[in-house]
Amino acid sequence: MAKRKVQRRVRTILGEDPTAMVWCEIHKAIPKPPADVHRAAGKGRLKPRRHWLLYVGAAVFFFVVVPMMLIDKLGDRLGGQSSGRRSRNAGTARDRTSAGGRPTTGNRGREDRTDGVFDGDWDLTAGRLLLRWYTQSPEPKRLVLLARDRVCVAASPRRRLSPTKADDFRIVAEYPAHEIRVEGEAGQPRGFATFRLCFTDGSWLELGRLAEPEDADSFLRRVATGH
């Protein structure tokens, strides 16, 4: 469940208790918009900014952990029997020979340039929301709030190491209930669940990486039955 300070903040910015809420993200990279569209929208960020501690952790992993793994693996290879190496090499050669006779398949069909992130029209509501997604907040996490007569999207104005525990988030987008519909299926596997914000102009945006499992399950049950 969401932390108490998060729940208190939600009541403050909404002025009421939400019928459901969930922390989520755009679970894939935002597609690159046409240059003129991006320029007209102010050339905002299309990628999130990560907390500096995450970069420190990544540096430690690549410069300390990875070299140790490589050294350990190299030691195993050097300690192996030469006959074993010859056997593996022979097997590899046979595999290459058999693979050489297989035809390769090309790109079948037109590539989906949106990668399932949104409907693909940058001029409609979902596209315009994407263009300012990381301008509104550099933090990838968003809190989607369902209220009686509206759907709101909230975010922290700054980078957070634990954004789902933040109490400084604010509403960055708000849509009346008659302009938006939230679609999702209940019972989706945790960690892989997604849902869509569908707008009356025909555009849609898919969100995933749902946090707080109990909130996520409750949210999906709510939207599956119609909020």
Number of domains making up the chain: 2
Q: Note whether residue 105 is domain-resident.
A: no
Q: Note whether residue 110 is domain-resident.
A: no
Block mean pLDDT (10 aa), the chain, length 227: 85 95 94 94 83 49 66 69 52 48 39 78 96 91 95 88 80 97 94 96 96 92 87
Please give the pLDDT value at position 111: 37
Length of the chain: 227
How far is Cα 175 from Cα 152, in angstroms, rounded to an integer?
A: 6
Assign residue 178 the CATH number of its domain.
2.30.29
Q: Return the bridge partners of 21, or none.
A: 145
The verdict on 151 and 70 lying in the same domain is no
Q: Is 224 exposed, middle or buried (0-12, 13-18, 19+ CB in 10 A)?
A: middle
Q: Which residues of 56-80 are buried (b: 16+ CB within 10 A; e: fewer)?
A: eeeeeeeeeeeeeeeeeeeeeeeee
The reported pTM is: 0.72
How far is Cα 154 from Cα 24, in angstroms, rounded to an integer?
A: 10
Report how far Cα 57 is from the mean position of its chain's Cα atoms: 20
- Final residue before a domain boundary, out of 35, 69, 100: 100
How far is Cα 57 from Cα 55, in angstroms, rounded to an integer?
A: 5
The verdict on 204 and 173 lying in the same domain is yes
Q: Name the one residue in this structure whose structure tokens are 């991006």.
A: 38
Q: Name the one residue in this structure whose structure tokens are 């459901």.
A: 20
